[in-house]
Chains A and B, each alone.
Chain A
Amino acid sequence: MIKYLLLGGLSVMAAPALANNVFVSNERGNTVTVLDSETWEQIAEFPAGNRPRGITIAPDGSELYVCSSDDDLVRVYDPNTFEELHTLPSGPDPELFVIHPSGNPLYIANEDDNLVTVVDTETHQVLAEVPVGVEPEGMAISPDAGIVINTSETTNMAHFIDTETYEIVHNVLVDQRPRYAEFTSDGSKLYVSAEIGGTVSVIDLTADAPSITKKITFEVPGVQPEWLQPVGIKVTEDASRVFVALGPSNRVAVIDGETDEVLEYLLVGQRVWQLGFTPDEKFLITTNGNSNDVSIIDVEKEEVIKSVQVGQQPWGVVVAPDQ
Chain B
Amino acid sequence: MTDMLDAGPLVSWMKRMCLSAVTAVLACGAVFPAAAQTATVAVLRIDYPSLLPLSRLDLLQEDRAFAGARVATDDNRTTGQFLGQTHELVEVATTPENAMADFQALVEDGLRLFVLVGNSEDMLAVADAAPEDAVLFNASSGDTTLRDERCRANLLHIAPSDAMRADAVTQFLVWKRWTEWFLIAGSNPEDVALAEAYRTSARKFGAEIVEERTFEDTGGSRVSDSGHVLVQTQIPVFTQDAEDHDVVVAADASDVFAEYLPYHVWDPAPVAGSAGLRPVTWAPSHESWGATQMQTRFEDSAGRMMDDLDYQTWLAVRVVGEAVTRTGSDDPKVLREYMLGDEFELAAFKGVPVTFRDWNGQLRQPILLSNGRMTVSVSPQEGFLHQVSLLDTLGLDRPETECRAFAGGN
Interface residues, chain A, CB within 8 Å of chain B? 93, 111-112, 114, 131, 133-135, 152-157, 159, 168, 171, 173, 175-177, 195-198, 224, 226
Contacts and interface: CB of A to CB of B under 8 A. Distances in A.
Given A111-B293, A131-B4, 10 more contacts: A112-B296, A114-B78, A133-B82, A134-B79, A135-B290, A156-B347, A171-B82, A171-B83, A195-B347, A226-B352
B293 A196 contact: no
B195 to A, nearest CB: 32
Interface in B287-340: 290, 293, 296-297, 318, 325-326
B82 A176 contact: no
Enumerate the 8 nearest inter-chain pairs by beta-carbon distance, A residue then B residue, closest first: A131-B1, A196-B347, A176-B347, A155-B79, A177-B347, A171-B82, A226-B352, A134-B75
B326 A173 contact: yes
B325 A173 contact: yes
13 contacts: A134-B79, A135-B290, A154-B79, A154-B318, A154-B347, A157-B79, A171-B82, A175-B345, A195-B347, A196-B345, A196-B353, A197-B347, A198-B353
Interface in B48-86: 75, 78-79, 82-83
Contacts of B347: 153-154, 156, 176-177, 195-197
Residue with the greatest number of chain B CB neighbours at <10 A, chosen from A131, A133, A134: A134
Interface of B: 1, 4, 75, 78-79, 82-83, 290, 293, 296-297, 318, 325-326, 345-347, 351-353, 390
Contacts of B346: 176
A112 B297 contact: yes
Contacts of B290: 111, 135, 153, 177
Given A176-B345, A196-B345, A224-B390, A157 B82 contact: yes
A192 to B, nearest CB: 14
Nearest to B297: A112
A6 B345 CA distance: 53
Given A135-B290, A153-B347, A197 B353 contact: yes
Nearest to B74: A134
A128 to B, nearest CB: 11
A117 B325 CA distance: 26
Nearest to B326: A173
Contact of A155 (B4, B78, B345): B78
Contact of B293 (A112, A155, A159): A112
A155 B353 contact: no
A112 B325 CA distance: 22
Contacts of A196: 345, 347, 351-353
A156 B321 CA distance: 12
Contacts of B326: 173
Nearest to A177: B347
Nearest to A135: B293
A138 to B, nearest CB: 13
Residue with the greatest number of chain B CB neighbours at <10 A, chosen from A93, A156, A159, A196: A196
A135 B297 CA distance: 10
A224 B326 CA distance: 26
Contacts of B351: 196, 226
